[in-house]
Amino acid sequence: MLHVVAMTLDRAALAVPVVVRTATGAPDVRRRLGELGLRRGATVTCLRRTSGGGRLLDVAGTRVAVGADVLSAIEIEDVRG
């Protein structure tokens, strides 16, 4: 049975792949996230927490650092079978 839980990226566990649902916030921030690969349907893994509350993410094989304020605006699905 497939269990889907919706939450924001700042709540994601480390080393657990999640799927981006949507991003809220200013249009320029959403556009930049899309340029970095953080768009709907993308699989993202939180690799490390930073001291300021941000995260180092793995997005399609590329490491991307994202601040805590932006993480809270990215809605994800934690899909576990």
Spell out the domains of the chain, with CATH numbers in brackets.
Answer: 3-80 (2.30.30.90)
Dist. CA 60–CA 45, nearest whole Å:
9
Half-sphere exposure of 16 (CA within 13 A, CB side): 14
pLDDT tens string 55-76:
999 999 999 999 999 999 999 9
Stated length of the chain: 81
The pTM of the whole model exceeds 0.75: yes
Least confident of 12-16, 29-33, 72-76, 77-81: 77-81
Which DSSP string corresponds to 1-23? --EEEEEEGGGPPBT--EEEEEE
Residue 12, pLDDT > 90, answer yes
Does residue 2 carry a pLDDT above 90?
Answer: no
- Three-class secondary structure of residue 61 per DSSP: coil
Q: Is 67 helix (H, G, I), strand (E, B) or coil?
A: coil
